[in-house]
Amino acid sequence: MNCEDIRESLLTDYPDGQLTAEREEDINQHLSACVQCRKFSDAVCRSLVEPFKGAKKISLPQDKVWRNITQRIKEEQAPAHLSNPFVEMILRAREAITIIKPAFALLAITVITLIAMGYFNTRNPEVADISGSSESDAQYIRYVADELSVNQSDDTVDYGTDIENYFL
Amino acid sequence: MQDITRDIIIRASKGEVDAFEVIYRKCLDFVSNVAFRIVNTTEDTEEVTQEVFLNIFRQLNHFRFESSLKTWIYRITVNTAINYSKKESRHNYEMAGYMEVSALVNTDKTAPDKISEESNEKIIAALLNALTPDQRACIVLRSIEGLSYQEIADTLKIPVNTVRSRIKRARETMLAIRKEVINNEL
Ligand SMILES: [Zn+2]
């Protein structure tokens, strides 16, 4: 056994007591015969192993740390939206949509009615013809507008729901 | 550790805080000490320790009784502390640590047998500071906690030879730092 063969053991298993009795005995024999390895081994023990044996133990304030831990556990066990900023944001957006929904619906009905009136006046020759008679014209337009209002009003509600679905 | 019954572990794994408190009280000492040595600064120890116990509480339902509870808790402690110290790595501190140990090396020459606890703590901090978090974990578990190479391998889920090579490289690095002392002695 030469010095190179045992250098790794002198840095690891030997000072850490991880060797078989047989292998440890071999190394002890080499150390008793080799001054260089003995000095190396002593230095490893004194400089790299012994200091850790004297490591002081810290002790944390047990009750205080426990209070903090249980506080965090409580936060995590609470309903998700109370602690999750992302969910909170979605809920706020949803609330906003609910509030603006009637106003949005009314605006949509108005716009669509106006577009419908314009469309029938310019594009539909039948409507254009009817528009010659003022009474039936007004009736027809009112009828179409009512139809559209009902449909569009439903669509608007669906539109809002779609946004909600998309977010959630 | 032995008096933490299977029943307590199961109850804690189902979210019973009272049962978890039993585990906390039994393990706080070794958890906080391992966490302290791996992050290597006292100021962060409390925060990391809290994080370790929250991770234990969250993951306890994955504990399968294949290893001992202590080994499993060591693993969570080491992983949590390593992640923390990787996030919070302080480059400035490394040089400060090196300077400190160089200064201490000179003190050692004059009074090698009389190392106060305070200066021993500085030596430990400086030596650990020179290591990678993975090496540090092996040295802490071996030299401070007294685990065998096999126990470290089980804790970190790595082969025993990897434990040995990390300890070897860690000690070579620490030797380089304390070279002056060694040279003086040889
Ligand atoms: Zn030799």
Instruction: Judge if A73 and A107 occupy the same domain.
Output: no
Each residue's pLDDT tens digit, A66-98: 999 999 999 988 766 555 566 667 666 766 665
Instruction: Judge if B102 and B55 occupy the same domain.
Output: no
Domain boundary among B60, B89, B118: B89
Query: From the CA of A6, how far away is ligand 1's center (Å)?
Result: 8
CB contact under 8 A, A60 and B42: no
Each residue's pLDDT tens digit, B23-41: 999 999 999 999 999 999 8
Domain boundary among A25, A50, A78: A78
pLDDT classification of A123: cutoffs 50, 70, 90: low
**B11-50 b/e (C-beta count within 10 Å ≥ 16 → b):** bbbeeebebbebbbebbbebbbbbbbbbbbeeebbbebbb
Instruction: Judge if A123 and A140 occupy the same domain.
Output: yes
Instruction: Judge if A4 and A73 occupy the same domain.
Output: yes
CB contact under 8 A, A51 and B36: no
Instruction: Judge if B85 and B95 occupy the same domain.
Output: no
Among left, alpha and beta (phi > 0; psi -120 to 50; other), residue A56 is: beta
Residue identified by tokens 């693993």 is B75
Helix residue ranges per DSSP H, B14-90? 17-39, 42-59, 69-87
Domain assignment present for A164? no
Range from A44-48, A128-132, A162-166, B44-48 carrying the lowest mean pLDDT = A162-166
pLDDT of the residue at B70: 95
Q: What value, to the nearest 5°, has the Cα angle with vertex B47 and ends B43 and B53? A: 140
Q: Domain range holding B20?
A: 1-89
CB contact under 8 A, B28 and A36: no
Q: Domain range holding A124?
A: 85-151
Contact yes or no for B25/B124 (Cβ under 8 A): no
- Can you read off the two tokens belonging to residue A57? 């133990």
Instruction: Judge if B111 and B76 occupy the same domain.
Output: no
Of A161 and A96, more confident: A96
Instruction: Judge if A43 and A98 occupy the same domain.
Output: no
- pLDDT value at B96 more than 80: no
Could you give the percent of chain B with pLDDT greater than 70? 82
Q: What is the largest CA-CA distance in chain A?
A: 127
- Can you read off the two tokens belonging to residue B51? 């994080």
Scan residues 123-182 of B and list those with Cβ closer than 8 Å to A.
Answer: 123-124, 127, 139, 142-144, 148-149, 164, 167-168, 171-172, 174-175, 178, 181-182
The arithmetic mean of pLDDT across residues A18-25, rounded, is 96
Task: Tell me the CATH number at B68.
Answer: 1.10.1740.10
Instruction: Judge if B79 and B17 occupy the same domain.
Output: yes
The arithmetic mean of pLDDT across residues A153-164, rounded, is 42
- pLDDT value at A36 more than 50: yes
Domain boundary among B74, B89, B104: B89
Neighbours of ion ligand 1 (CB under 5 A): A 3, 34, 37
Instruction: Judge if A24 and A63 occupy the same domain.
Output: yes
- pLDDT value at B143 more than 60: yes
Candidate from B29, B36, B142 with C-beta closest to A16: B142
- Domain tally, chain B: 2
CA A45 to chain centre: 49
- pLDDT value at B56 more than 90: yes
Domain assignment present for A4? yes
The arithmetic mean of pLDDT across residues B101-118, rounded, is 56
Who contacts B149 (Cβ-Cβ below 8 Å, separation ≥6)? A13, A16, A18, B142, B160, B163, B164, B167
Range from A4-18, A118-132, B33-47 carrying the lowest mean pLDDT = A118-132
**B62-75 b/e (C-beta count within 10 Å ≥ 16 → b):** ebeeebebbbbbbb
pLDDT of the residue at A146: 57
Chains A and B: how many Cβ contacts under 8 Å?
A: 101
**What is the distance between the alpha carbons of residues B46 and A65, in angstroms, rounded to a whole number?**
7
Instruction: Judge if B100 and B185 occupy the same domain.
Output: yes
Rounded (to 5) percent helix, strand, coil in chain B: 80, 0, 20
Model ipTM?
A: 0.83
- A6, amino acid identity: I
Residue identified by tokens 């040595």 is B37
Instruction: Judge if B71 and B110 occupy the same domain.
Output: no
Looking at the whole model, is its pTM more than 0.90? no
**What is the distance between the alpha carbons of residues B90 and B117, in angstroms, rounded to a whole number?**
25
Q: What secondary structure does DSSP assign to A42-73, as a single string? A: HHHIIIIIHHHHTPPPP---HHHHHHHHHHHH
Domain assignment present for A32? yes
pLDDT of the residue at B115: 66
Domain boundary among B58, B89, B120: B89
- pLDDT value at B170 more than 90: yes
Dihedral (CA of A88, A89, A90, A93) sign: positive
Instruction: Judge if A123 and A50 occupy the same domain.
Output: no
- Domain tally, chain A: 2
Backbone angles phi, psi at B144, to 5 degrees: -105, -45
Instruction: Judge if A12 and A61 occupy the same domain.
Output: yes
